[in-house]
Amino acid sequence: RHGAQAVFGEGIETEREKHTPVKRNTAWEAVVKAMATGWNRDYVCRDITQGWKIWQEAFVKNYDPSVLPSVTYLLYEIKWSNSKRPWQSCCHSTRTEHAEIHFIEDVFQEQRSDPSVHCSITWYMSWSPCADCCRAIRDFLKEQPNVNLVIYVARIYWHKEENNRQGLRSLVNIGVSIRVMDLPAYSYCWRTFVDDEDNNEDDYWPRHFAPWIMLYSLELQSILQNIPSCLAISTDENQTPIFSLCVEDEEQKRALTSASP
């Protein structure tokens, strides 16, 4: 077994509110325990400004790939072929509804006027869709043949669960583009969706994401190529996430060389 281990992060937060069995002896166990507190809070609009943009603190907390936040944020951009200006806004998951479902059932239905007009949608998500949301997205796109969807993700949700892996592959198989957020994507989100309360001209905060971008990119590559997972996430005695790259054999190593972190 060939493995390369890297220790990153500034302390674990909590995982996404999804309906997936708890795995013992991993970072996810500590994460799901912490979720109990999150279930008692109301997340509706608390991190979104009156002008619809996300607060800087909320973006930092939820899109830093080195930690595991509890809420899924979805920054979205909708472009219609008959309009020069895109519609841009954001939403997030709540105790009762995933962000993807909210977009499909509420946001899009409010904005869609003519089903015959071609529509391009781009999502910038703090977590990738779970298996249930992947099914809802497939049904949505089947009903909306003039819509194409691109999804950027900061991290991959429960990446070892086969139903989640199959869900992501099924989206790619119907033409959805799924990518791990790279530095230009973070910069674009910071300039487009984040409230610049300090009038700071920096492209985004912070600038240390490259190691996690690489690890999640390799894991997404393994998912889409249907080969074993290469990313392990555990915790140390201080509950700090430890991200490890584990390549089982030469065949897996060769398959991952085509990844482009």
Catalytic residue among 13, 77, 100, 161: 100
Residue count of the chain, please give it: 261
Task: Give the separation between CA 220 and CA 105, rounded to whole angstroms.
Answer: 27
Return the closest-CA partner of residue 164 out of 71, 229, 209.
229
**Is 100 assigned a catalytic role?**
yes
DSSP output for 70-139: SS-EEEEEEEETT-SS-EEEEEE--SS--HHHHIIIIIHHHH---TTS-EEEEEEESS---HHHHHHHHH
Burial pattern 196-209, b for ≥16 Cβ within 10 A else e, equals eeeeeeeebbeeeb
Locate the DSSP E strands across 163-227: 177-180
Catalytic positions are: 100
